[in-house]
Amino acid sequence: MSLTSLIAPQLPLLRRYARALSGSQASGDSHVVAMLEHLVADPDGFDKSLEPRLGVYKLFTSVWNANPMNYMRLEDGERPAADRRLDAITPLPRQAFLLTAMEGFSPFDASRILDVGPEAFSALLSEAARQIGEQVASRVLVIEDEPLIAMDLEGLVEGLGHTVVGNARTRDEAVAMARSERPGLILADIRLADGSSGLDAVNDILGSFEVPVIFITAYPESLLTGERPEPTFLIAKPFREEMVKAVISQALFFDKVASLRLKDNV
């Protein structure tokens, strides 16, 4: 298969990524062109042993990171708030965050794109989460009936620079705390202490105001039914700390607002 047939289908998504990195479509496109010119000069620079999209992003990253101008801060101008926040994240953590949060690569594949080991990549994601937390610090409500898990989540949330406004163990507690505290983010389990449902609690809360919701559950199949609506953010138990940090940062950074009206299938 020719290089053109391998690379051309990847360019639309690569342009989106380049735009997010550079702050403008024009600048992003110029970097994509630079990658293509590099490829013309050195066709062997493309690793055909990799899946095509992975290979294209890896090549683009090597060209991007070789340009010292890409380590300079951009002027804010009239750019959207999310773009200004993104530019405030240092270069490698920013790339790690975008590759996983926006482009959908697994941490393993993203680490290959950046040419770093798994531990180093985890550290980059954690640093991105910390820097994002400094920019979009929020008040978080935890809905979780297991005390040890609730404590772990509270530690993760506060380690990112956010504040936990309460930990609810039942549907009624969750709704009351949410209406009283008006959190900017909710972390919710599905099955609660009194047999009530975290799904119902979330639906009750969303009936009063909009707030991003991350479900952290041992029963993801009850939400991933293949029917709409499905949750935007879902983490299966047992969870990895790095995953929770990344998803919290993703939810707050991109200002995703949950508008779930889920039927409890539990």
Quick one: pLDDT at residue 26? 87
Quick one: pLDDT at residue 264? 43
Q: What is the mean pLDDT of residues 222-237?
A: 71
Choose the weakest-confidence range: 69-73, 168-172, 247-251: 69-73
Quick one: pLDDT at residue 35? 94
pLDDT above 50 (res 150): yes
Say if residues 135 and 180 touch (Cβ distance below 8 Å): no
CA 97 to chain centre: 7
Quick one: pLDDT at residue 74? 47
* H helix intervals, the chain: 3-7, 11-22, 25-41, 52-65, 81-87, 91-101, 107-114, 118-135, 147-159, 171-181, 198-206, 241-253
pLDDT above 60 (res 80): no
Q: Residue holding tokens 């994509």?
A: 32
pLDDT above 90 (res 225): no
pLDDT, mean over the chain:
84
Using pLDDT thresholds of 50, 70 and 90, give the confidence band for residue 82.
low
221: three-class secondary structure by DSSP:
helix
Using pLDDT thresholds of 50, 70 and 90, give the confidence band for residue 262.
very low
pLDDT above 90 (res 193): no
Q: What is the mean pLDDT of residues 101-117?
A: 92
Using pLDDT thresholds of 50, 70 and 90, give the confidence band for residue 182.
very high
**Rounded Cα distance, 216 and 232, in Å:** 12
pLDDT above 60 (res 110): yes
Quick one: pLDDT at residue 222? 74
pTM of the model: 0.65
Quick one: pLDDT at residue 9? 93
Using pLDDT thresholds of 50, 70 and 90, give the confidence band for residue 84.
low
Is pLDDT larger for residue 229 or for residue 153?
153
